[in-house]
Structure 1
Amino acid sequence: MLMTRHAELRCQERRISEQQLEWLLCYGEESHNRGVCLCFFDRAGFSQLLSDVDLKSQEMALRSRDIYAVLAESKVITVGYRDERLKPQKPHKRVRRGTPSNPGARRTHRRTR
């Protein structure tokens, strides 16, 4: 696995071992966005990891749940721990003014003579 200097520093700062990165690349889910690949554990991949790992490595595997890696051109660019920003965003629902589904919208009143 090829790593940039930046990724090596982030692994060191965040105490993410090479074994954890190997597990992530083998069992993790990949998402492509803006020319890079984001690897993270989904439920199925993480449960598969826990069932495949031996008892000595079980604790380190449990600490690996929230790690992610960003890859470009088969190099690891950076690694870190997930937070809510990596969760899929719900699409923005556009609300039109004056529709019955939006009671707080501004209504236009007709003038009577």
Structure 2
Amino acid sequence: MELTAHATQRCSQRGIRIQQIDWLIAYGRHVWNRGARVYFFDRAHFRQMLFSLTASERQLAEKTRNSYVVVKGDQVITAGHRQPVFCANKPGSHHHRRIDWRHGASRVA
């Protein structure tokens, strides 16, 4: 998977490694948001990933638990660390579509 310049910069700023991005894409669940896939871990997918890792990899994996990655086509657009509720639309719009990471559902707030 190719990283855009923006994604490379954000990963560097936020301390997210390429291996963590690979894990999110391989094991995480995703939701569609504005034409892109947003990958993240819920409890079941995170547990599934942990079973496939070595003991030394698990320490890095714990840092990945609350991360997300945005993918459009075959490019990683950005990556970051999740907040409990993530606003999916631009801040100035009247209706904010929020992704509730705890339940994996979208809702209009």
* Partner residue in 2 for 1:80: 80
1:27-51 Cα deviation digits (max 9, x unpaired): 0001012111111111111001111
One-letter amino acid of the structure 2 residue matched with residue 51 of structure 1: F
Aligned residues: 92
* Partner residue in 1 for 2:2: 2
Q: Which has the larger radius of gyration?
A: 1
One-letter amino acid of the structure 2 residue matched with residue 68 of structure 1: Y
Structure 2 gap ranges (5+): 87-99
The alignment yields a C-alpha RMSD, in angstroms, of 1.4
The 5-angstrom pairing of residues 90-109 of structure 1 reads 90=107
One-letter amino acid of the structure 2 residue matched with residue 54 of structure 1: T
1:12-37 Cα deviation digits (max 9, x unpaired): 01110111111000000010121111
* Partner residue in 2 for 1:53: 53
The runs of 4+ residues in structure 1 deviating greater than 3 Å are 88-92
TM-score (norm 1): 0.76
One-letter amino acid of the structure 1 residue matched with residue 81 of structure 2: Y
Structure 1 gap ranges (5+): 93-113
**Structure 2 SS opposite 1:53:** coil
TM-score (norm 2): 0.78
Tell me by how many angstroms 1:85 deviates.
2.3
- Percent sequence identity is 37
